[in-house]
Amino acid sequence: MGAGARRDASKDRELKQLRALMDMAALVNSTLNIHAIQRRSVDAAAKLLNSETASLILIDQETGELYFEVALKKGARLKQVRLRKGEGIAGWVVEHGIPQIIHDIRSDRRFFARADQVSGFRTKNMVCVPVKTREKILGVLEAVNKRKGTFSPEDMELLVAFSHHVALAIDNALLYEDNIRHLVMRLREEKQHARERERILKDLHDGIGGITTNISLLADLAQDASSLEEVRKTLSTISELSREGLSEIRCFMNSIDESRVDWHTLMADIRHYGSTCIEPHGIRFRVRETIRDVREPPVSILYLNLFRIYKEALANVLKHAKAKTVTVALDVRPERLLLVVKDDGVGLGKPGGSGRGLRNMKARAWELGGTLTVSSRSGTQVRLELSLPLRLGAEQ
């Protein structure tokens, strides 16, 4: 064959390779499914370089180890194989970022023989190139055992060019998956916030609505009262209900003011309400708080239900306990919250109690995904415990 004919043949071969490269690159980039991209990349590498097999070896971003993500011919066995950082030819290429041709694999001291031992495949020669984006190396792409002859520098250049398309396709797919995860998380959060708002508004309607209805009924009764004493008694009850209504509104407003509420503010509200509620009755009031490394603030539904449980517990002390001292402890950690309200009064008439107030407190505890227990030993102790981050009862 003359020189001109050889040049023409070389140009024809290069043109075929470029067309094949464009076809394979288009195929790999035609999907955002990460598993399809990886599989197509390995199939295309073997076809481009006319090799017996090929493999895609990726970096575990947590451990730095290399693992066989996709490998043709008995590749399933290689799933259990991992290479330490810098180990094997693949590890060397990842560490140095330089593509390699190995014509006689057995004579290369970097060769990782265990892969052949596990797969039962015999590696003779190889081209190994890094798969990298502008920011980082994702792993390597290998073509193994040339079907005719051995791998050439042109083969390596072709695989390097193809690896850029593979890296781009993998990076795009990972970005797409990451965006999908964030979108799903955002939708889940918005759905939870909508449920919280619905619960809060229902709670507000039931609480304020009930108080307003009682005030209206009492006002009607006062108009029909036959004595001044009855009027005064009714007005006193209306006054108490009005104060309770204002407290409900204040609690509601505090719960939805996200710019204001944090754990220390919640603790300050607990301290303030307890002292103004308990101390005027001649009862000592003590507070202990432990708030450790909690980054997320209390969400509205937590603030509202926690405060309602707390208020109900203090109301029970005033109504039934005949106590001299009330102690409140709030312990908040990243994984859980514990609220304890304890008095030194006469205790419960029946173990566990069965009143409406207790049922309401337990229902609110369940609403927060937690548990509420009441014990009567040397007084009464109300104990609320729940996991953080918050898991609402209906979602468990």
pLDDT attached to residue 19: 66
- Residue 110 burial (CB < 10 Å; 0-12/13-18/19+)? middle
Q: What is the pLDDT of residue 243?
A: 66
CA distances in angstroms from 264 to 105, 220, 221, 386, listed in the order given: 65, 43, 44, 18
- Distance in angstroms (rounded) separating the CA atoms of residues 75 and 53: 10
Task: Evaluate whether 3-177 and 259-396 have a shared fold.
Answer: no
pLDDT of residue 63: 87
- What CATH number labels 259-396? 3.30.565.10
Per-residue model confidence (pLDDT) at position 199 = 65
Q: Is 328 left (phi over 0), alpha (psi -120 to 50) or beta?
A: beta
CB 329 within 8 A of CB 289: yes
pLDDT given at position 138 = 92
- pLDDT value for 200: 63
Q: Is the pTM value of this prediction over 0.85?
A: no
The predicted pLDDT at position 153 comes to: 92
Distances 225 to 221, 233, 236, 241, 262 between C-alpha atoms, Å = 6, 10, 14, 19, 47
Peptide bond into 351 cis (omega under 30): no
Q: What is the mean pLDDT of each run of 10 residues along the chain (396 residues)?
A: 52 59 68 84 88 91 87 75 89 93 92 88 93 88 92 91 87 85 77 67 64 70 73 73 65 58 84 86 91 82 84 87 92 92 80 64 86 88 89 56
Listed by start position, the domains of the chain span: 3-177, 259-396
Residues 33/173, Cβ–Cβ less than 8 Å = yes
Q: Does the domain at residues 3-177 carry the CATH identifier 3.30.450.40?
A: yes
**Of 152, 155, 145, nearest in space to 52 by CA:** 145
Residue 18 confidence (pLDDT): 63
